[in-house]
Structure 1
Amino acid sequence: MKFRLVPALLILVVMAVTIRLGFWQRDRAHQKEALEAQIERYEAAPPQTVSAAPLALAGIQFHRVRATGTFMPDLAVYLDNRPYNDQPGFYVVMPLKLQDGGYVLVNRGWLPRNIAERDRIAPYDTPAGPVTVEGIARADASRAFELGAGGSAPHQKIRQNLGVASYATETGLPLQPFVIQQTGFLPAAKDGLVRDWPAPTTGVERNYGYMLQWWGMAAAALGFGLYAARRAATKARTQVQENPPKQAQAQDSQAQGKQAPKDA
C-alpha cells in the first residue's frame, strides 16, 4: 500500500492537533476535579472573617465566610432572569457596610417576579441594624446570558448581570473583589428570600465529552487516510491490469514477431 506524501502529512497534522486537544481537555477535566475536591474541603472548614482588609479573589473564592455589618438597601440591585423551580424571579444583591468600614456585596437570595408588572418588586425584609452574614465567597452574583451590555447598564435597579469592579466604580465603594452568596445570618429571622442555592458545578463532564470528540476526530482522520490509501492502491492495480506497461507490451510484440516465421 503506497502513501502519497502531501495527503499523508495533512492527515498526520490533523491527528496530531486533535489528539493534543483531547489531552488538553483531559487535563482541564482533571483540574476541575481537583477544584471540586477543594470546594468540598472548604465546605467543612470554619468560615473566614471578612473585614476591610483587601482579600484576593483567588485566595477566598468558594470558601465559607462570615461578615458583620449593616445592609445598604438604597443601593440594592435586582438581577433578572433567575428562575427557581421554573418560576421567574430576581436575585437581591446589596452592599454590606462592614463594622470596620469596609464593604462587600451580598447576594441575599431569590425573590419571585411579578408576572404582570416586571418592575414591581415583591416585599422582603432587610434588617436595619448590624447583622452577621454567613455564606460562600463567589466571583460574582451569578451570570446570565445577555445580548450586549444594555441589560447591565449602571444606575439601574433591575439588571441582567452585575460585575463587582464595575459596581465599585459606579458607587464609589471600596468593595471586596467577591460576592458573598448568603446562606444565613444572625440574628436569624425570616426575610422573605429563598436561599436554596444550586451546588457549584465546574462542568467537568463537558470536558470529558470534548476529549472524546477530539480523539474520535483523530481516529476518523486515521480511518479516512487508510481508506483513501487502500482505494488509491486498488485503483492503481486495476489500471495496471487493464493497461499493461509499454515495456511489457513491447516484449509481447517481440515475442510474437519471433514466433511468426515458425507459424508460416
Structure 2
Amino acid sequence: MKIRFWPTVLILIVVAVTVRLGFWQRDRAHQKEALNAQITAFENASSQRVSTAPMPLKSIEFHRVEARGEFMPERVVYLDNRSYNDQPGFYVVMPLKLEGGGYVLVNRGWLPRNLADRTGIEKYETPKGIVDVQGIARANASQAFELGYGGSAAHQQIRQNLDVAAYAQETGIAFQPFVIQQTNDTGDKLVRDWPAPTMGVERNYGYMLQWWGMAFAAIGFGLYAAHHA
C-alpha cells in the first residue's frame, strides 16, 4: 500500500485542527458552567448598596444590588427591538441620581411598542422623589445586533444599544460602570420578567461533537483512500 505524502499531510492537518477546535469548545462550555454557578451564588447572596464610591464592573457584575435615589426622566433612553412574548417593545433605561451623590443607570423594564406609531412611546409611570431600586448589576442594559454605531447620536432617546462609558462621556455624568437590571416593583406598569443570562453551554457541547465528528470523518476518509490507493 502506497501512502501519498501531501494528501496524508493535509488529512493530518485537518484532524489536528478539528480536534483542537473540539477541545476549545469543550473548554468554553466548562468556563460558562463555572460562570453560571458563580451567577447563581451571587444572586443568592445579600445585596450590595450602590453609593458614590466607584464600584468596578469586574467586582460587581451579576451581584444583587440596591440603590436609593431619584430618577432622571429627562435623560431616559429607550432601547429598541426588545421583544417580550413575541411582542415588540423597548427597554426603558433611566439614570438614577443617588441619594448622597453619584449616578447609576437603571434598566427599569420592558414597555410594549405603540403599534400605530413605531416611535410612539406608551404611557408608563416614573416615581417622583426618592425611590428604592433593587436588581442585578449587569455590564449593559442588554445588547442587540446593530450595523455600525447606530442610535448613538446625542440626545437621541430611541437607540439600539447603550454603552455606559460612551453615554457618560456624552452626558457629562459620571455613572457607575454598570447598569442595574431592576427587579422590584415600583408601580410603573413596566414588565420585569427578565430572561436568564444566556450561557449557551449546550451549543458549545454541540459544536465540540461536530468538530470531533469531522476529525473522525477525516480519519475514515484517509484510511479509505489509503486502502484504495
TM range (shorter): over 0.9
Q: Aligned to 1:220, what secondary structure does the other structure show?
A: helix
Residue 217 of structure 1, CA deviation: 1.2
Question: 1:191 is matched with which residue?
Answer: 188
Q: Distance in 1 between matches of 2:225 and 2:132?
A: 70
Residue 87 of structure 1, CA deviation: 1.1
Is residue 10 from structure 1 mapped to residue 10 from structure 2 by the alignment?
A: yes
Cα-Cα RMSD = 1.2
Q: Distance in 2 between matches of 1:152 and 1:84?
A: 24
Q: Aligned to 2:108, what secondary structure does the other structure show?
A: strand
TM-score, L = length of structure 2: 0.96
Amino acid at match of 1:191: D
Q: Aligned to 2:87, what secondary structure does the other structure show?
A: coil
Amino acid at match of 1:135: G
- Which of structures 1 and 2 has the larger relative contact order (alpha carbons within 8 angstroms, sep 6+)? 2
Residue 154 of structure 1, CA deviation: 3.2
Q: Aligned to 2:82, what secondary structure does the other structure show?
A: coil
Q: Comparing 102-111 with 49-58, which one deviates more in the overlay?
A: 49-58
CA deviations 1:147-202 (Å, max 9, x no partner) are 222234332111111111111111111111110000016xxx41111111111121
Q: Aligned to 2:96, what secondary structure does the other structure show?
A: strand
Question: 2:223 is matched with which residue?
Answer: 226
Is residue 135 from structure 1 mapped to residue 132 from structure 2 by the alignment?
A: no
Question: 2:208 is matched with which residue?
Answer: 211
Can you give the 5+ residue segments of structure 1 that lack an aligned partner in the other structure?
233-264
Q: Comparing 102-111 with 149-158, which one deviates more in the overlay?
A: 149-158
CA deviations 1:62-82 (Å, max 9, x no partner) are 110011111100000001111
Q: Distance in 1 between matches of 2:172 and 2:187?
A: 31
Question: 2:77 is matched with which residue?
Answer: 77
Question: 1:106 is matched with which residue?
Answer: 106
Q: Which has the higher helix share?
A: 1
Residue 105 of structure 1, CA deviation: 0.4
Q: Aligned to 1:67, what secondary structure does the other structure show?
A: strand
Amino acid at match of 1:217: M
Can you give the 5+ residue segments of structure 2 that lack an aligned partner in the other structure?
none
- 1:1-264, aligned counterparts within 5 Å? 1-184=1-184, 189-232=186-229
Amino acid at match of 1:61: E
Structure with max Cα Rg: 1
Q: Distance in 2 between matches of 1:94 and 1:79?
A: 11
Residue 224 of structure 1, CA deviation: 1.1
Q: Distance in 1 between matches of 2:52 and 2:212?
A: 49
Q: Distance in 1 between matches of 2:12 and 2:100?
A: 63
How many residues align? The count is: 229
Where does structure 1 differ by over 4 angstroms across 4 or more consecutive aligned residues?
none
Q: Distance in 2 between matches of 1:202 and 1:102?
A: 32
Q: Aligned to 1:18, what secondary structure does the other structure show?
A: helix
Amino acid at match of 2:171: T
TM-score, L = length of structure 1: 0.84
Q: Distance in 2 between matches of 1:41 and 1:184?
A: 20
Q: Which has the higher strand share?
A: 2
Q: Aligned to 1:30, what secondary structure does the other structure show?
A: helix
Residue 8 of structure 1, CA deviation: 1.2
Q: Distance in 2 between matches of 1:171 and 1:38?
A: 34
Amino acid at match of 1:213: Q
